[in-house]
């Protein structure tokens, strides 16, 4: 640990491109690949981060050298800097990469670095990330089980969701989300399932888990427009859904606003967005009830924290997206612990995940007791990489 007054310096940034061995381009799961970054210091302390972006693209964003003052390289800007200055470093990276970034891949890559810097700061100061993120820290958070069905037909997919939701309830979860990504451009296995079949699947799950269990539905951008969506979901209020996630393209802000006005289920969105500025549009023009920053993609814990403040100002909820490995889940958990208006985090127990990276990359998984996760007071994110697993799935 650094002695007081001694500046810690960033000395090296390492990127690892990882892929599960059974990667399937037709599967709707971004947990099949990963970019893991390690930020090293002259004190021997290392921070880890990741982001939900094609890992080769993420690595290029992080390693590209500077070419001019408005296109500085991310690694170049961080070397020699003090990792305790996390918020100042975020602004430095954002401004210095402005002509290449401001949104999209570069901001997602900044997110991986920022998570690693928060991990480092916690480790250097001997405090968990959540304790350094906000003054409302409450280490007990509520996970919801994020359930991605399986099967080649709508019937098999629906049955798998009934089975998984029942299992989630049996394990003590208080809430679960059904991934009904069965239509539209990102549909699972190329399925094209009519709306009334989706309605039947939700009804079957609701019957299986009973009226008290909290249910959410994610349709994965499955509707072409708000009017088509409204026609399909007109009876879904009977299922008492906590939210309906990503019904429309994130670019259709007017469509989001129409859904918010014309039907009672809160709309949730934001998993792909980068920076608080994109969330401002989603909140103020799209009128979403639940903002879902993915901590890596939005630009890291620093920027996710700013999005939480925007949502609080407008009386909206935060439920972060996390569909990666234990690193992202830890980042989302620390954000939730520091955010009073975050009722749930997305969480799939590693042994229920189809992704080897989710199951194996981080050596310790959060334990759920009585439907809650209690964060420890371990410094930083409180998770460590399994070096053997990192090597085994490393492809570049």
- Site residues for Mg ion per CB under 5 A: 218
Query: To the nearest whole angstrom, how small is the minimum distance from the Cβ of residue 243 to Mg ion?
Result: 11
Say how far apart CA 179 and CA 194 lie, in whole Å: 15
Say how far apart CA 343 and CA 321 lie, in whole Å: 13
Angle, helices 301-313 vs 275-284, to 10°: value is 20
Say how far apart CA 49 and CA 119 lie, in whole Å: 8
Helix (H, G, I), strand (E, B) or coil at 159: helix
Q: Between β-strands 372-374 and 140-141, what pairing exists: parallel, antiparallel or unpaired? A: antiparallel
**218 vs 360, beta carbon nearer Mg ion:** 218
Query: To the nearest whole angstrom, how small is the minimum distance from the Cβ of residue 187 to Mg ion?
Result: 13
Tokens of 213: 């269990």
Tokens of 245: 């996630």
**Torsion angle, CA of 19/21/25/28, rounded to 10 degrees?**
-80
Say how far apart CA 278 and CA 295 lie, in whole Å: 14
Query: To the nearest whole angstrom, how small is the minimum distance from the Cβ of residue 251 to Mg ion?
Result: 16
C-beta nearest to Mg ion: residue:
218
Q: Between β-strands 46-51 and 33-41, what pairing exists: parallel, antiparallel or unpaired? A: antiparallel
**218 vs 252, beta carbon nearer Mg ion:** 218
Quickly tell me which residue has 């979403």 as its tokens.
Answer: 288
Query: To the nearest whole angstrom, how small is the minimum distance from the Cβ of residue 269 to Mg ion?
Result: 9
**133 vs 307, beta carbon nearer Mg ion:** 307
Say how far apart CA 106 and CA 297 lie, in whole Å: 9
**290 vs 333, beta carbon nearer Mg ion:** 290
Helix (H, G, I), strand (E, B) or coil at 341: coil
Query: To the nearest whole angstrom, how small is the minimum distance from the Cβ of residue 146 to Mg ion?
Result: 8
Tokens of 187: 């549909």
Query: To the nearest whole angstrom, how small is the minimum distance from the Cβ of residue 198 to Mg ion?
Result: 15
Query: To the nearest whole angstrom, how small is the minimum distance from the Cβ of residue 316 to Mg ion?
Result: 17
**206 vs 321, beta carbon nearer Mg ion:** 321
**213 vs 221, beta carbon nearer Mg ion:** 221
Quickly tell me which residue has 């429309």 as its tokens.
Answer: 248
Q: Between β-strands 33-41 and 372-374, what pairing exists: parallel, antiparallel or unpaired? A: unpaired
**142 vs 292, beta carbon nearer Mg ion:** 292
Query: To the nearest whole angstrom, how small is the minimum distance from the Cβ of residue 66 to Mg ion?
Result: 35
Distance of CA 223 to the CA centre of its chain: 22
Which residues share a beta bridge with 307?
none
Query: To the nearest whole angstrom, how small is the minimum distance from the Cβ of residue 246 to Mg ion?
Result: 5
Phi, psi of 99 (to 5 degrees): -80, -15
**218 vs 278, beta carbon nearer Mg ion:** 218
Helix (H, G, I), strand (E, B) or coil at 345: strand
Tokens of 269: 């969105």
**28 vs 263, beta carbon nearer Mg ion:** 28
Task: Yes or no: say if 252 and 225 are a contact pair by the CB < 8 Å rule.
Answer: yes
């Amino acid at each position: 640990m650094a002695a007081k007054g001694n500046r810690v310096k960033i000395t090296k940034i390492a990127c690892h491109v990882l892929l599960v061995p059974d990667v399937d381009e037709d599967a709707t799961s971004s947990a099949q690949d990963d970019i893991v970054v390690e930020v090293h210091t002259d004190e021997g302390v290392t921070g880890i981060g990741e982001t939900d972006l094609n890992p080769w693209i993420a690595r290029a964003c992080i390693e590209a050298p500077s070419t001019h003052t408005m296109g500085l390289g991310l690694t170049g800007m961080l070397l020699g800097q003090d990792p305790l200055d996390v918020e100042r470093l975020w602004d430095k990276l954002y401004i210095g990469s402005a002509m290449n970034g401001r949104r999209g891949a570069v901001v997602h890559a900044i997110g991986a670095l920022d998570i690693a810097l928060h991990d480092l700061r916690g480790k250097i100061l001997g405090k968990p990330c959540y304790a350094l993120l906000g003054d409302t820290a409450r280490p007990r958070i509520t996970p919801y089980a994020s359930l991605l069905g399986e099967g080649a037909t709508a019937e098999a997919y629906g049955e798998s969701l009934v089975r998984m939701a029942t299992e989630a309830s049996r394990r003590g979860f208080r809430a679960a989300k059904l991934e009904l990504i069965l239509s539209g451009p990102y549909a699972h296995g190329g399925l094209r399932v009519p709306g009334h079949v989706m309605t039947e699947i939700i009804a079957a799950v609701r019957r299986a888990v009973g009226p008290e269990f909290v249910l959410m539905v994610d349709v994965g951008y499955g509707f072409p427009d708000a009017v088509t969506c409204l026609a399909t979901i007109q009876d879904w209020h009977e299922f008492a859904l906590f939210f309906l996630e990503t019904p429309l393209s994130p670019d259709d802000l007017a469509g989001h606003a129409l859904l918010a006005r014309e039907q009672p289920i809160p709309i949730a969105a934001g998993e792909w967005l980068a920076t608080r500025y994109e969330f401002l549009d989603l909140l103020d023009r799209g009128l979403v009830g639940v903002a879902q920053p993915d901590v890596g993609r939005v630009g890291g814990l620093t920027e996710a924290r700013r999005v939480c403040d925007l949502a609080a100002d407008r009386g909206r909820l935060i439920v972060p997206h996390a569909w990666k490995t234990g690193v992202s889940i830890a980042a989302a958990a620390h954000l939730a612990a520091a955010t009073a208006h975050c009722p749930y985090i997305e969480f799939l127990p590693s042994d229920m995940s189809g992704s080897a990276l989710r199951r194996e990359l981080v050596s310790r998984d959060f334990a759920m007791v009585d439907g809650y996760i209690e964060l420890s007071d371990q410094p930083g994110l409180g998770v460590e990489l399994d070096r053997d697993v990192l090597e085994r799935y490393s492809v570049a």
